[in-house]
Amino acid sequence: MRKNLKIASLLPCVALLALALAGCEKQAEQQMQALPVDVFTVTTMDVPVVSHLTGRANPTRMAEVRPQVSGVIQRRLFTEGSTVKQGDQLYQIDPALYEAQVASAQAALSSAKATLHSSQLKAERYANLLEKKAVSKQDYDDAQATYLANKAAVESAQAALQTAQINLAYTKVYAPISGTINRSNVTEGALVSAQQATALTTITQLDPMYVDLGQTVEDNLALKRALHNGKLKTGADGKPAVDIYFSNGDKYPEQGELEFAEVSVDQSTGMVNLRAQVPNPHNVLLPGMFLRADINEGVTPDAPVMLASGVQREATGASYALIVNDKGVVERKDIAIGPQYEKYYVVLNGLKKGDKVIVSNVQKIREGMPVQPVEYKEQKTVELIPVTDEDKKE
């Protein structure tokens, strides 16, 4: 009887022990089932606002050289493709005709001066005789008129001489600007005419260069709003820096500055045209070259960011992220992301600082599943040391 009572009193203890063991086994099973995942903790940083645009290079100055007088080209005085300075003589046009015109104008001026001298003396004599009433008033007036007419003739002859001298000087064609000169469109012996449609040659200034870019109206308005609302910080000079890239992705070593943005929209493209000025000391950039430019418009201070690999997208284009909540369970968050900076995306809404975003094993997990979060660590590149023949012998 006493034995049965002892067994009966032990039954509740055995039941409690069994339940405890079952709970431990279930908890251990859940822990064993929890998949380890890398998580990135949402943080804040100052994120540069970079506009990725495309455009073409254009010279800062370009001059088409045309003759201003007609004649035959006697000499070409430059090497095609070389660098010329402003004022260097490029061509010599036959000056014989214009030298003769200068000589003729000088002779006409001398004749006009001689006539003026004679009429001046006559006018002075008639002025004295008029006082003595030795000549009539009409004769005096005629002498004065002749003197004034001859004086005007001298001035006209001086202007004609100056014109002839200018035309003679135009037989020497000079470089209007400094830069790289292109090929010559004429050779010695060619007949050229004043202000002809075809240029003799073209001079292009390649340092610095302009890079003309196009930006969408929406992006331009968004940047202006961000600046107005104080969400962007710019440099002290207010001119954004511009990084230039070639079409193959290589970065151009010189950094440029954004000069201005046009105040109107190009109706043919619907874009706002921007112009950057870029140093080109070695003439690497050429006119017409297709380029890509990253314009550093400013900085968004304390922007929440997440790792780009944590962004998931649906077929509809909606973005979401899987996070680990305080209970160690996977939870979905619909998010809106902004511009990308290096390996991060700016989070516009949906996440807050401190949220743990899953960045690995995303295909193996689902919402509501327990996981083991492991803090994400950036992988470092291991430098491989080549094995030498001596190492192989050892």
Architecture of the CATH domain 35-47+304-375 = Beta Barrel (2.40)
**Dist. CA 147–CA 169, nearest whole Å:** 33
Q: Determine how many CB atoms are found less than 10 A away from the CB of residue 8.
A: 9
Average pLDDT of the segment spanning 40-66: 87
pLDDT of residue 381: 41
Q: Is 300 helix (H, G, I), strand (E, B) or coil?
A: strand
Q: How far is CA 368 from CA 41, 170, 331, 344, 358, in A?
A: 19, 87, 6, 26, 13
pLDDT of residue 380: 45
> In terms of DSSP H, where are the helices of the chain?
2-33, 96-131, 137-169, 217-228, 389-393
pLDDT of residue 225: 72
CATH number for region 96-169: 1.10.287.470
Residue 358: pLDDT above 90?
A: no
**How would residue 70 be classed by pLDDT, with cut points 50, 70 and 90?**
very high
Average pLDDT of the segment spanning 381-386: 44
Do 60 and 154 touch, CB atoms closer than 8 A? no
- Helix, strand, coil proportions of the chain in percent (round to 5)? 30, 35, 30
Q: How far is CA 240 from CA 140, 149, 223, 256, 277, in A?
A: 78, 66, 12, 9, 11
Residue 361: pLDDT above 70?
A: yes
Residue 377: pLDDT above 80?
A: no
- pLDDT tens digits for range 280-307: 988 888 888 999 988 777 777 888 888 8
* Better pLDDT: 106 or 20: 106
Question: Of the ranges 21-35, 99-113, 222-236, 330-344, which one carries the lowest mean pLDDT score?
Answer: 21-35
Q: pTM above 0.85?
A: no
Q: Please state the length of the chain.
A: 394
* Better pLDDT: 387 or 173: 173
Which residue carries 């035959």 as its tokens? Answer: 72
- Of the options 2.30.42.10, 2.40.50.100, 3.10.180.10, 2.40.50.40, the CATH number for the domain spanning 67-92+172-198: 2.40.50.100
**Dist. CA 34–CA 29, nearest whole Å:** 9
pLDDT of residue 63: 92
Average pLDDT of the segment spanning 223-237: 61
pLDDT of residue 133: 80
Q: Which amino acid is at 235?
A: G
- pLDDT tens digits for range 187-223: 999 999 988 888 999 999 988 899 988 888 887 787 6
**Dist. CA 307–CA 327, nearest whole Å:** 22
- Of the options 2.100.10.30, 2.30.40.10, 2.40.30.170, 2.40.50.40, the CATH number for the domain spanning 50-59+205-302: 2.40.30.170
pLDDT of residue 382: 41
Do 214 and 269 touch, CB atoms closer than 8 A? yes
**How would residue 389 be classed by pLDDT, with cut points 50, 70 and 90?**
low
Average pLDDT of the segment spanning 67-82: 92
Residue 116: pLDDT above 80?
A: yes
Residues in Cβ contact with 131 at an 8 Å cutoff, skipping those fewer than 6 apart: none
**How would residue 29 be classed by pLDDT, with cut points 50, 70 and 90?**
very low
Residues in Cβ contact with 7 at an 8 Å cutoff, skipping those fewer than 6 apart: none
Q: What is the DSSP letter of 329?
A: B
- pLDDT tens digits for range 311-323: 888 888 888 888 8
Q: Which helix (H) or strand (E) covers residue 243, if one does? A: strand 241-245
**Dist. CA 351–CA 320, nearest whole Å:** 10
Q: Which helix (H) or strand (E) covers residue 84, if one does? A: strand 83-84
- pLDDT tens digits for range 248-275: 888 999 988 888 777 778 777 778 888 8
The rounded mean pLDDT for the chain is 82
Average pLDDT of the segment spanning 352-356: 88
Do 36 and 371 touch, CB atoms closer than 8 A? yes
Q: Are strands 35-41 and 371-375 parallel, antiparallel or unpaired?
A: parallel
Q: Determine how many CB atoms are found less than 10 A away from the CB of residue 271.
A: 19
**Dist. CA 213–CA 266, nearest whole Å:** 12
Do 234 and 298 touch, CB atoms closer than 8 A? yes
Domain parsing of the chain, residue ranges? 35-47+304-375, 50-59+205-302, 67-92+172-198, 96-169
pLDDT of residue 235: 52
Residue 178: pLDDT above 70?
A: yes
Phi, psi of 350 (to 5 degrees): 105, -25
Question: Of the ranges 179-183, 206-210, 341-345, which one carries the lowest mean pLDDT score?
Answer: 341-345
Question: Of the ranges 134-148, 344-358, 373-387, which one carries the lowest mean pLDDT score?
Answer: 373-387
Question: Of the ranges 6-20, 222-236, 380-394, which one carries the lowest mean pLDDT score?
Answer: 380-394
